[in-house]
Structure 1
Amino acid sequence: MDTQHDNALAHALAAIPGPVPPSGVIHIVIPHTNRFTVVGNHLAQHAGLSLVAIGIGVHIQSLPAGSEISIKTLAARFPEGEVKIASALRELEAHGYLRRTRVRLAKGRVATRTVFCNQPGAVLRGGVVPGAPGAPVVGAAVRNPAPAPALVREHLRVPEPEPARVPEPARVTEPEPARVPEPARVTEPEPTLVTEPARVPEHIRVREPEPTAVAGARPAPIRLPAPTAPKQPRRPLPHPHALTPERRQAASALLADLRRHAVELVLSEEAVEELVPGVAAWLERDATTDAIRHALTADLPKPLRHPARLLRHRLTALLPPPLPGVHDLTAPRRAPVTPFQTCDGCERAFRSHEPGHCRDCRAPYGEAA
């Protein structure tokens, strides 16, 4: 008696008109009145998109214009990782649903502009770009002969007042001749703006605030070095004393094999020929191939745009010194030391290579002899 039975689903199934399929999914269609998005079956049942790509495409289509849909934003919203989300966005981009372009802003910054099209097939057939003047998205949907539900037709009739807005730009353009003198008033302060570039070099001087309570006078400006200081010349690539055929072949094979250990280090034949002397210089200094490979592939920057330049820098900056010889590693020999001897006469210690008498006892014994 304590188990609750929900019969709402059974009543809903009983109210479905027509025969119920013996197997498969059964749809209970309840019309939406708010917060819904019309998604085409070409996206929801796309045969070439993965399930993650279809879900992200539907999610992006449901967002309002101006929403952030970067990889990090979607990864924070969904449990999928950044790699899987990035792959899904590339799938949508390959099938025409998504387009990402890099544009340069006014101040020199570069930003990514993302455009999502809900019907890329209609755009290709009509030869128009969504959002362009004279090519609204509703036009492609109205020409579709397929029957649409009442709610969809109401949704498609919403943008129909746009033709009534066409005369509005014409009325806006009527007072434009009256606004023509306004740019003339804007150009009046232009002489003050022209003088600005003449004072640009003053930003090099660092000035203290004028009101100084201690000295009462403005300190002398501090001149900084010019930003166009000459750069140091690039160090040349090391070359061996003798580039033998064996060293050339070993260096060329090592450089061509780097892409097996790091996929970023894909070098052209010209780059390999240019870097062969540097690797041969390392081999001449008894560096092993494993040591050279580790020095060239460790801690690569992400992303790596110029692999040949990076290898040239590492071969030049990390060149090891020649190995020291066996005689260089031995300890320096000390000068011979005269040992101590005990005097046979007075029992005192003195330095001598042979036993005998000390200096004081040597004279009496010499006279006695």
Structure 2
Amino acid sequence: MDTQHDIALAHALAAIPGPVPPSGVLHAVIPHTSRFTVVGNHLAQHAELSLVAIGIGVHIQSLPAGSKVGIKALAARFPEGEVKIACALRELEAHGYLHRTRVRLPKGRVATRTVFCNQPGAVLRGGVVPVVGPAVRSTGPAPTPVREHIRVPEPTPVPEPTAVPEHRPVPEPVPVPEHRPVPEPVPVPQALQAPVRLPSRTARTQPHRPLPHPQALTPGLRQAASALLADLRRHAEDLVLSEQDVEELAPAVAAWLERDATTDAIRRTLTADLPKPLRHPARLLRHRLTALLPPPLPGIHDLAPPRRAPVTPFQTCDGCERAFRSHEPGHCRDCRAQYGEAA
């Protein structure tokens, strides 16, 4: 069976002027008449931006003003995840294409203003103010330039006096004061104003507690802890750890084993009630091994009941028959003073 050829594509390739390269891409250029966006090669062929960042930059530049370009909105529009889209937006922001500032609204609310600059180099030089409007071109009249020099209109010329007959005196013209309109200031988009600095948090974040470490990390204890960590994915599919994670968390598990915690108890503690989805399993295990570390088991002497202090028994005085505390029978204090006995 012969290979099918696209006749229309063959005619389009035949119409390409100049010599056709033997390899590589060929461009069949058809001029746009409506719904197109002018994108600079500095963005489309950027040497440091990723392909996702270039695609998102072209997409944002083609949207009209007021469109949602947040991470949630872009993740709902494209198959890429929120993490990849957030990294692409940070790339555009680092290279000057995207500007995100927080401004305070009239009612006291704080909102994020996003401005996309099609030529970040011109904005940095201070020659152009970005247009807060759609970037889609159409067949209508050309858009107004971004910033123009303010031209002061020339004063209205005073009409010359009309010739009158000789028998009437010619009135002298009344000088009209020259009126120069006051130029209006060029409005600056609200997104380019100074961002509102929000008050810093007053509560201080607590420093992270270090991982527990056993008193003596023997090779056998390390091997048992590493085996327990590597075996966790059999009991929970989300707890997949790398070799580096196992090596870092092994001393903490060894500290649990040194405190006589059984492997089943450690496994239940690390695999119970896992969040869905679990994005950072190593961080979760690090927190649980540190925050839920059990105390050392008490010894035999610690579990023994406390010994009561010896109590001196009661005795009956031989003289006045009053009760008093003493280890030997005899007289009370008053009777000893009366009979002159030694205490």
TM-score (normalizing by structure 2):
0.46
Which fold has the larger relative contact order, with Cα–Cα distance below 8 Å and residues 6 or more apart in sequence? Answer: 2
TM-score (normalizing by structure 1):
0.43
